[in-house]
Amino acid sequence: MPLRAYIFLKVRPAPVEDLRKELGQFPEIIEGYVVTGEVDVVLSVETADTNELFQLVKRLRTLPFVLDTKTSIAISVIKEKTG
């Protein structure tokens, strides 16, 4: 069973197309949204384990527009979209 996590990014101003291009290179990213509030981008990701998640976050932090990351691991499903 894959590990589901949410990665919250603070980013430098960048065109959304540039974000799509760069983040599109990461197969672990299931969904990504530019949002309002304290963070700029929210990513839903799936990895095999916490080590793979750690490696993903390390790679994301090397992107030129990423200023900061915060990660939350999902521990239980309350409601999930089906179909």
pTM, full prediction: 0.93
Domains (range + CATH), the chain:
3-73 (3.30.70.920)
Q: Which residues face 37 on adjacent strands?
A: none
Residue 10 half-sphere exposure toward CB, CA atoms < 13 A: 6
pLDDT one-digit tens code per residue, 15-55:
999 999 999 999 999 999 999 999 999 999 999 999 999 99
What pLDDT does 83 receive? Answer: 74
Residue type, 41: V
List, for residues 49-62, the tens digit of each pLDDT value: 999 999 999 999 99
Which pLDDT does position 81 carry in this prediction? 84
